[in-house]
């Protein structure tokens, strides 16, 4: 879709053609650097609970993994589960930033979009908890001899 088509499709967009083309001219090297800026923006805009609880939870899971000597396959499952939650939270933050920009006033669709994105994070946490139980529960039960 070129600028004129985009302008017709969304007349509320207040951008000039030169601004539109400027975004298209960003080089690959700068795009790569922008990925790190994106991670920084995520870290700075996410709430404190996620910022401080998640690293502690990840550290706890890693310590448990070493203590219970989980297998290579179990490590892969645990790493993917952790990554799944973090990436879900990153997408949720990106969606929230976009909705805040495009819908500064309350709108029920904006609320629905944010709620669905937050629900996806919750589902990723539930799936990751199930993976954690599959990996660690048998080892914990053997340890406490139940």
In this structure, are residues 104 and 82 in contact, taking their beta carbons and an 8 Å threshold? no
pLDDT at 138: 94
Q: What is the mean pLDDT of residues 92-103?
A: 92
Instruction: Work out the angle between the directed axes of helices 108-144 and 72-102 (0-180°, nearest 10).
Output: 160
Q: Is 95 helix (H, G, I), strand (E, B) or coil?
A: helix
The reported pTM is 0.74
Tokens coding 52: 């401080």
Q: What is the mean pLDDT of residues 9-16?
A: 52
Tokens coding 11: 């007349």
Alpha-carbon separation of residue 25 from 21, 28, 56 (angstroms): 6, 9, 40
Indicate the pLDDT class of residue 9, thresholds 50, 70 and 90: low
Query: Which CATH number fits the domain 47-144, given the four candidates 3.40.50.150, 1.10.287.3610, 1.10.10.10, 2.60.120.1440?
Result: 1.10.287.3610
pLDDT greater at residue 101 or residue 29: 101
pLDDT over 60 at 71, yes or no: yes
Q: What is the torsional sign of CA 123, 39, 6, 26?
A: negative
Q: Distance (Å, rounded) from C-alpha 36 to C-alpha 24?
A: 19
pLDDT over 50 at 3, yes or no: no
């Amino acid at each position: 879709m070129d600028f004129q088509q985009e302008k017709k499709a969304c007349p509320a967009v207040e951008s000039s053609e030169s601004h539109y083309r400027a975004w298209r001219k960003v080089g690959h090297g700068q795009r790569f650097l922008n990925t790190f800026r994106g991670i920084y923006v995520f870290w700075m805009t996410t709430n404190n609970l996620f910022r401080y609880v998640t690293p502690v939870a990840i550290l706890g899971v890693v310590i448990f993994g070493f203590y219970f000597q989980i297998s290579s396959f179990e490590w892969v499952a645990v790493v993917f589960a952790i990554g799944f939650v973090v990436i879900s939270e990153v997408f949720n933050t990106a969606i929230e930033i976009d909705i805040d920009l495009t819908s500064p006033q309350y709108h029920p669709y904006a609320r629905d979009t944010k709620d669905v994105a937050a629900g996806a994070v919750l589902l990723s946490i539930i799936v990751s908890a199930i993976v954690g139980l599959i990996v660690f529960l048998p080892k914990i039960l053997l340890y406490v001899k139940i």
